Amino acid sequence: MNKKSIGILIILIVTILSVSILMNSGGENVAFHNNVVFHITLANPELYTDGVYTDKFLIDRGTYFFRFVPNGSSPEILTIKLTSQNYSFIENFNLKGTPHESETSKYFTWEYEGERNITMNSMEEITIEINSNGNVMGSVSVDILTNPTD
């Protein structure tokens, strides 16, 4: 084997070991996943009924926040409605693209703007409705997470 092949092999082994260590580390990754109260990735039009995704889940008393993983094809407006016997929340989240330029390219990062925090005063069975406002082809992930300070 020549020096170039050995160098590539070493880089490959270090990369594999690094990824393995990161995936097996229990720290923040496990804690983060334990904070997820609700998750859905809307990437299939069949998940919607008349343009609205609906589900139910239990939520405890506490403070929570929305997290989104959007991209350029995500719905421009994502209307989220949470309802229960004692609770009601509705927000129109607007997709905003922020341009960035590097030496070789221009790219965008995407985020939804709107009220992300919700506070529950008691344990509730929540009905969530996510309305893509006509864009059932664009993908987006929606999470409701516990506030790490609770």
Tell me the C-alpha distance between 145 and 66, whole Å.
6
State how many domains the chain has: 2
User: Residues 46, 120: one domain?
Assistant: yes
Pair 115, 136 in one domain: yes
Residues 82 and 51 in one domain: yes
We report the CATH number of the domain holding residue 108 as 2.60.120
The answer on 67 and 11 residing in a single domain is no
CA-based nearest residue to 74, from 145, 143, 130, 132 = 132
Over the stretch 117-129, which tens digit does the pLDDT of each residue have?
999 999 999 999 9
pLDDT band at 102 (very low <50, low <70, confident <90, very high): confident
Same domain (yes/no): 88, 16: no
17-27 mean pLDDT: 45
Q: Do residues 7 and 70 share a domain?
A: no
Percent of the chain with pLDDT over 90: 67
Domain residues for the domain of 128 are 37-146
Which range is least confidently modeled, 15-19, 25-29, 38-42, 105-109? 25-29
Separation CA 6–CA 46 (nearest Å): 49
CA–CA dist 109, 120 (Å, integer): 31
**Are 57 and 9 within one domain?**
no
Neighbours of 62 (CB within 10 A): 14
Task: Please check the confidence at residue 105 and state whether its pLDDT lies above 70.
Answer: yes
Q: 48 and 25, same structural domain?
A: no
Same domain, 17 and 78: no
| pLDDT of 3 strictly over 70 | no
Confidence at residue 31, expressed as pLDDT on a 0 to 100 scale: 43
Average pLDDT over residues 22-39: 59
Using pLDDT thresholds of 50, 70 and 90, give the confidence band for residue 17: very low
Contacts (Cβ under 8 Å, ≥6 apart) of 95: 70, 74, 75, 76, 77, 78, 110, 111, 112
